[in-house]
Amino acid sequence: MIPQSKWPARLDFGHAPETIGFWKRLVSEALLLSGSTPLYLFSALPIADCLAGLDSALVAAGFSPETANSPLKISFHHWLSFKTQPVAPLLRWWRGLNRPVEVVSEFELRAALAAGFPPAMILVNGPAKHRWLAQFQLPELSVNFDSLAELDDLLPCAQRLNWRMGLRILTGEEFDPENPQFPTQFGLAPEAAMVGLKKLLGARARIEMVSFHLRTNIAAASVFERAITEVAEICRAAGFCPQVLDIGGGLPVRSVRSRGGKVYDGEFGLRSFAQSLRQSVKLFPGLRELWLENGRFLSSASGVLVVKILDVKERRGLRQLICDGGRTLNALMSVWEQHALLPLPERSGEEALTVVHGPTCMAFDQLARLPLPRSLCAGDHLIWLDAGAYHLPWETRFSHGHAAVCWHDERGLMLARAQQSFEDFWGGWKY
């Protein structure tokens, strides 16, 4: 037997009763609508709430909303990080808000165009764009170059099509989270950034932006302060006064913890972050716009994963639930994170240390390990919260098809994607 003192804490993570009730009601409706599990369920309402909170903090700090166009204040602009939750109804919902979108691949750019975004409302980021972007010949795009090779290859096209251009700079605050002694592969190191800025200025290009993106779940506003100071020094040395500062994303998510139990947003406050930004942007004379590309911060709480218990096993003091979805198929983030888990229907009584497994033939397929009621049985459902960011993009077809997807917004609940059939799973092979 495993002693109770070694059990992890119950994974509720401070979710409000209203939040839990909202998802349970919506999941019950979605199960009737989809008729299948595993199921992703996404809602626009938590995104709208999160956006409103961030907007309020920025306005209180003295920034101007993008719709105000105040000549006396720096305006802020939220770019939807499409890669974070590539769901077609979300893209159309965001377009309805008249907000712009950030893309990092050819498919994402095609999706944004198909959803009705004009090129002037599309920001193209990511590495190696020079291998695919020029084929589109789109005027008025916003593009952050990621390397000198990109700059050299795309500059003639960019000038001809009047792109708003910028550089992504690799600051000292950006590093591989798993190996902090090494930098990431993105952006231009300071020396290369100096070369790039001078080349663009010498070519009289329409260079307006300077950009950086640090990583996910930034622990404190001081990390942004140091990165902004470094970028300002590079711009000053190159003789460049940007009109736009793009600080990427990285704000920490709420109600999610690391596998070791760390609270990601424990030291982070939106109002203090916004006030810190207001002071930092003074380093850029003539700055007109502040761009933010938060993905997980906006969308993490907007989705849940629903799985059904198929079988129950007990051995060596451990209870094991075999479900039709799990880490391998639907929730790779569970390798690094712990999320709240809700039984549906509600179960109570004696608890046992329980591992929630997916259906694949891998010991790796463990969604959670926590105390759960022994009354849970085959046929019950489990709701894994905060599955709105990067879960669908990392979905696999390991012996199974893709899950169904339901979408919810002000209009109600709809089935956005049916569970993948065998014909779709197998029919793509040509030989």
Q: Would 60 be classed as within a structural domain?
A: no
Whether 319 maps to a domain, the answer reads: yes
**Domain-located, residue 56:** no
Last residue of a domain, one of 294, 321, 353: 294
What is the rounded distance in angstroms from the CA atom of residue 323 to the CA atom of residue 348? 19
Same domain, 235 and 319: no
Neighbouring C-beta atoms of residue 137, cutoff 10 Å: 10
Check whether residue 335 and residue 421 sit in a common domain. yes
Count of domains observed in the chain? 2
CATH number of the domain at 11, please. 2.40.37.10
pLDDT, residue 67, reads: 67
Residue 223 maps to a domain: yes
pTM: 0.94
Q: What is the pLDDT of residue 195?
A: 98
Which pLDDT value is given to residue 68?
A: 61
191 with 323, same domain: the answer is: no
Q: Helix and strand tally (H, E) in the chain?
A: 11, 21
Identify whether residues 415 and 272 lie together within a single domain.
Answer: no
Residue 407: inside a domain: yes
Cα-based distances in Å from 288 to 63, 123, 167, 337, 363: 10, 17, 17, 38, 52
Residue 314 placed within a domain: yes
Shared domain for 317 and 414, answered yes or no, is yes
| 307 and 259 in a common domain | no
**CATH number of the domain to which 104 belongs:** 3.20.20.10
Q: How far apart are CA 16 and CA 33, in angstroms?
A: 26
β-partners of residue 319 are: 314, 354
Can you give the pLDDT at residue 1? 38
Query: Is residue 323 domain-shared with residue 246, that is, in the same domain?
Result: no
Are residues 148 and 163 both part of a single domain? yes
Structural tokens at position 415: 């089935």
Residues 254 and 114 in one domain: yes
> H or E stretch including 157?
helix 148-160
Identify the sign of the CA torsion 64, 266, 84, 215. Answer: positive
- Domain that residue 127 falls in: 74-294
* Mean pLDDT of each 10-residue bin along the chain, 431 residues long: 40 81 97 97 97 96 80 90 97 97 98 98 98 97 98 98 98 92 95 98 97 93 96 98 97 89 86 96 96 96 98 95 98 94 95 97 95 97 97 96 97 97 94 93
Answer yes or no: is 431 within a domain. Answer: no
Q: How many residues does the chain have?
A: 431
Domain boundary among 262, 294, 326: 294
Residues 261 and 311 in one domain: no
* Sequence-distant (≥ 6) Cβ neighbours of residue 375 within 8 angstroms: 347, 348, 349, 350
Please give the pLDDT value at position 431.
Answer: 93
Domain boundary among 294, 328, 350: 294
Q: Do residues 28 and 108 share a domain? A: no
Distance in angstroms (rounded) separating the CA atoms of residues 300 and 70: 31
Could you tell me if residue 67 is inside a domain?
no
Do residues 148 and 198 share a domain? yes
How many other C-beta atoms can be found within 10 angstroms of the C-beta atom of residue 322? 17
